[in-house]
A = this chain, B = another copy of it.
Amino acid sequence: MKVTHYTDIPGTEMNNDMVEGVTGRVLIGKNDGAKNFCMRRFDVDPGGHAPRHTHDWEHEIYVVEGNGEVLIGEQWHAISSGTVIYVPPNVDHQIKNSSDGHLAFLCLVPSVAPEM
């Protein structure tokens, strides 16, 4: 079992040609005994973005803080704290922080996906 605050889990800073200004954390994963799906949290600086990509597993996303935009397929949608997003397998997607504040979201993936 596990009871911890997300800030007590070390974050991985991500800055490369695909990702900018993102810190990622595996909150619950295989190391905790979770065999079916993995909970991650991503914090995005103002102007930052997650990768635009596609893969053959789904995302279940919940926005916990801030404002931004999500691309699904060819359409961008505004997102804010409390927005729920389901990205089916094999659909192009991206999340960006187009605001001047902090953006944070949970993104869960099934066990076939890389955890980070």
Contacts and interface: CB of A to CB of B under 8 A. Distances in A.
Interface residues of A, number: 39
Contact of A39 (B28, B41, B60, B73): B60
A16 interface: no
A33 to B, nearest CB: 6
Per assembly, the copies of the chain total 2
B60 A37 contact: yes
Contacts of A80: 5
Contacts of A41: 62
Interface string A28-50: 10001111110101000000000
A41 B80 CA distance: 16
A19 interface: no
